[in-house]
Amino acid sequence: MSDVSVIGLGDMGTAIGRALVSAGLAVTVWNRSAAKEAPLVSMGATAATTAGAAIAASPVTVLCVSDYAATTALIEGAALQDRLLMQFASGTPAQARSMEARVRQGGGRYVDGAIGAWPRQIGSPDASFTLSGNADDFAAARPVLELLGGQSTHVGSDVGHAKAYANAGLAYFAGHWIGFAQGASISQSEGLDPAVLGEMLASMGPILSNDLLLMGRAIASDAFDEADSTIKTIAGDLNWLAELAETAGGNNEFARLAAALFTRTRDMGLGDKQHSAIIKALRG
Ligand code: NAP
């Protein structure tokens, strides 16, 4: 028996395997393309011949393949009795719930998780993990999680909730990535350096953190009167942005979408409210 198994040795699974081997655990690994097992085996991990054999080899198995369909196929036929599976594939809350039911049916234990880190941060204090599922199963997974990063948070016994948070976070990051690329494109059309734009925005880190806390509280309490910037003002700003993005010669879909959303919220009579009141237009 080993201490822990890792199934799926892409960028993330390899980083997880490396952190666990480096922490001194006996680790069993398995990957569909066997060549990816070699670097971890050279560090001291043991390669299993099948995914089922990897699950049999350890009380705890970390699953890190691309999606739930792949995970479902991999655990098919595996002996799950008393095995704890920790699943990190991307997907939906419904997929997590159905995976939990499948594992429980086989007598196994299950927690579902989201990773708040890039692979290079695994094993460092910057990594964070959000888990959901049975509290005892989370407690059993914790010693492994502690070797992977700075912070692990259990968000409750509904096993779908970690993936709900993961998708909510992804929605935020999608706006962040597209917004930065749109801004970089405008900067370049004016002969400016996008690296300087990155530095300028990074220096606003504390303001952005504060804004996240403010928006979360405002939406949770459905109270949008505390407005440093109003829907009306931002709608006007975004219409100028959309025009600039167009004249800059690039794609202005994102700027148009943002301008339309704020304009619609203003037209709902919410012009003097705080910017997160656009949730009312998003909800329809
Ligand atoms: P990746 O580098 O693309 O690796 C994908 C892994 O899934 C590989 O091991 C691949 O095996 C395996 N796989 C895919 N389809 C399979 C199948 N049908 N049967 C068996 N194995 C299969 O992806 P990654 O970055 O490691 O991400 C893995 C998961 O972690 C994803 O769900 C991702 O969303 C999540 N995640 C990643 C990050 C990140 O920063 N990278 C952050 C948070 C969460 P082969 O090597 O044989 O192709």
* pLDDT of res. 248: 80
What percent of the chain lies above the pLDDT cut of 70?
A: 100
* pLDDT of res. 249: 74
Residue that is last in its domain, among 163, 185, 220: 163
Residue from 40, 50, 65, 177 whose mutation best tests the ligand 1 pocket (most atoms within 8 A of CB): 65
Our count of domains for the chain comes to: 2
The CATH number linked to 251 is 1.10.1040.10
Instruction: Determine, yes or no, domain membership for 99.
Output: yes
Both 134 and 252 in a single domain?
Answer: no
The predicted model scores a pTM of: 0.91
* pLDDT of res. 26: 98
Tell how far the Cα of 65 is from the centroid of ligand 1, in angstroms. 4
Residue 94 in contact with residue 160, Cβ under 8 Å?
A: yes
219-260: per-residue pLDDT in tens? Answer: 999 999 988 889 999 999 999 999 998 888 778 899 999 999
Does residue 166 have its Cβ closer than 6 Å to ligand 1?
Answer: no
* pLDDT of res. 139: 97
* pLDDT of res. 251: 84
* pLDDT of res. 92: 98
Does residue 89 have its Cβ closer than 6 Å to ligand 1?
Answer: yes
Both 158 and 213 in a single domain?
Answer: no
List the residue whose alpha carbon is closest to atom 21 of ligand 1: 32
Residue 157 has pLDDT above 80, yes or no: yes
Residue that is last in its domain, among 134, 163, 192: 163
20-64: per-residue pLDDT in tens? Answer: 999 999 999 999 999 999 999 999 999 999 999 999 999 999 999
Both 11 and 123 in a single domain?
Answer: yes
Residue 95 has pLDDT above 80, yes or no: yes
Tell how far the Cα of 11 is from the centroid of ligand 1, in angstroms. 7
Q: Which domain holds residue 153?
A: 4-163
158-200: per-residue pLDDT in tens? Answer: 999 999 999 999 999 999 999 999 999 999 999 999 999 999 9
Residue 102 has pLDDT above 90, yes or no: yes
Average per-residue pLDDT for the chain = 96
* pLDDT of res. 150: 83
Q: Which atom of ligand 1 is nearest to the CA of 118?
A: 40
Tell how far the Cα of 14 is from the centroid of ligand 1, in angstroms. 10
